[in-house]
């Protein structure tokens, strides 16, 4: 996509972190922006802040775990603006398994984390893409995975993010094989200074309590908090994502050197059919 002014972007998870900065970037490019998030107050704050700058934005409280909610979001966006050109399936949550192995992690983590991180992306594609194709204008889908989606781990987070990579690569091929005017990118960040470490705030109450905190999980959380606090700024990541849409770049890796080195090691290990090495970050992915 080369032209952005006057076009329409939809961002899920737009009330915080990378999503909020994406919304700001699209507004700065004179786009109309639809903000979707499960958290009402931060969403209203984001909407008010952007409107105060004169932006044309629409904010809708949306739970990406719920297909009907995403269908309603699409309906509202197409009704108001006629078309959608950029869809960022960005909403995501970390888990609550505190680094437990898969056989000890609560299955409810899969209901929630896999539901938001993967099913939310899938629902987004199914709700928006058919109408974007029918409107026959240039457009771009951005799905947010993670470096955890390329490195191996057994958390619901890691498994969900691997699925997003797979889905998005297939989506890119389908768009181009069918000669649509759409393209796709997958974003795999390393550590970014956002509120993701406090994702628990959005865990559905009906799933009951996850595992009780332990000294190990508290320590894990503290390590993660430090890594994120010293991570990239979400506005830098938003800029990289915008550049990728403009340049039609599929892989977007806003990731630290040591994580990219671990990825290189993993890919080499796979190609040489060697057994997995235990990377430094395996416990937190």
Ligand X SMILES: NC(=O)c1ccc[n+]([C@@H]2O[C@H](COP(=O)([O-])OP(=O)(O)OC[C@H]3O[C@@H](n4cnc5c(N)ncnc54)[C@H](O)[C@@H]3O)[C@@H](O)[C@H]2O)c1
Select which of 81, 123, 157, 281 is catalytic: 157
If DSSP codes are grouped into helix, strand and coil, which group holds residue 32? strand
User: What x/- string results for residues 172 through 211 when contact with ligand X is judged by CB under 6 A?
Assistant: -----------------x-xx-xxx--x--x---------
144 binds ligand X (CB under 6 A): yes
Distance CA(275)–CA(266), nearest Å, equals 10
Whether 81 is catalytic: no
> Among the candidate windows 95-103, 123-131, 206-214, 226-234, which touches ligand X by CB under 6 A?
226-234
Q: Is 111 in the site for ligand X (CB under 6 A)?
A: no
- Compare residues 1 and 207 and give the one whose CB is closer to ligand X: 207
Note whether 16 binds ligand X by CB under 6 A.
Answer: yes
Distance, CA of 77 to CA of 31 (rounded, Å): 13
Q: Does 57 bind ligand X (CB under 6 A)?
A: no
- The region of 56-64, 73-81, 129-137, 171-179 touching ligand X under the rule CB under 6 A is 56-64
Q: Which of 8, 86, 90, 150 contacts ligand X by CB under 6 A?
A: 90
Q: What is the DSSP string of 119-177?
A: IHHHHHHHHHHHHHHHHT--EEEEEE--GGGTS---SHHHHHHHHHHHHHHHHHHHHHH
Q: Which residue, 126 or 176, has its beta carbon nearer to ligand X?
A: 126
Total binding residues toward ligand X, as defined by CB under 6 A: 32
- Torsion over CA: 13, 19, 22, 27 (sign): positive
Q: Is 163 in the site for ligand X (CB under 6 A)?
A: no
Least gap, CB of 217 to ligand X (angstroms): 18
Min. distance of Cβ 12 from ligand X in angstroms? 6
Are 251 and 183 spatial neighbours (Cβ–Cβ below 8 Å)?
no
Is 195 or 249 the residue whose CB approaches ligand X more closely? 195
Q: Is 116 in the site for ligand X (CB under 6 A)?
A: yes
Cα 100 from Cα 103, distance rounded (Å) = 8
Q: Which residues have CB under 8 Å from 66's CB, separation 6+?
A: none
The sheet that has 57-61: what strands, in order across it? Answer: 57-61, 32-37, 8-12, 86-89, 139-144, 182-187, 251-252
- What is the closest distance, in whole angstroms, from the C-beta atom of residue 136 to ligand X in the complex? 29
In order, the DSSP letters of 251-271 are EE----HHHHHHHHHHHHHHH
- Smallest distance, ligand X to C-beta of residue 194, A: 3
Active-site residue list: 157
Binding residues for ligand X, per CB under 6 A?
12-13, 15-19, 37-39, 62-65, 90-93, 116, 144, 146, 189, 191-192, 194-196, 199, 202, 228, 231, 234
């Amino acid at each position: 996509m080369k032209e952005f002014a006057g076009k329409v972007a939809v961002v899920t998870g737009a009330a915080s972190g990378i999503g909020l900065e994406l919304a700001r970037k699209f507004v700065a490019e004179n786009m109309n922006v639809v903000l979707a998030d499960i958290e009402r107050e931060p969403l209203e704050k984001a909407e008010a802040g952007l409107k105060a700058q004169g932006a044309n934005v629409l904010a809708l409280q949306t739970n990406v775990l719920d297909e009907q909610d995403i269908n309603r979001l699409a309906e509202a966006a197409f009704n108001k603006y006629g078309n959608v050109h950029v869809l960022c399936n960005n909403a995501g949550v970390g888990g609550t398994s505190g680094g437990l192995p898969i056989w000890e992690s609560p299955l409810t983590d899969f209901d929630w984390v896999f539901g938001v991180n993967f099913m939310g992306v899938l629902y987004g594609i199914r709700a928006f893409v058919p109408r974007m194709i029918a409107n026959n204008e240039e457009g771009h889908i951005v799905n947010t995975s993670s470096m955890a989606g390329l490195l191996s781990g057994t958390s619901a987070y890691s498994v969900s993010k691997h699925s997003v990579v797979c889905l998005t690569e297939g989506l890119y091929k389908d768009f181009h094989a069918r000669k649509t005017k759409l393209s796709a990118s997958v974003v795999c960040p390393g550590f970014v200074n956002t509120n993701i470490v406090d994702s628990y705030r959005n865990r559905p109450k009906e799933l009951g309590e996850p595992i009780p905190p332990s000294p190990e999980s508290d320590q894990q959380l503290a390590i993660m908090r430090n890594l994120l606090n010293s991570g990239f700024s979400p506005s830098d990541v938003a800029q990289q994502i915008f550049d990728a849409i403009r340049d039609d770049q599929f892989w977007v890796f806003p990731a630290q050197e040591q994580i990219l080195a671990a990825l290189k090691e993993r890919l080499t290990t796979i190609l040489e059919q060697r057994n997995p090495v235990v990377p430094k970050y395996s416990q937190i992915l």
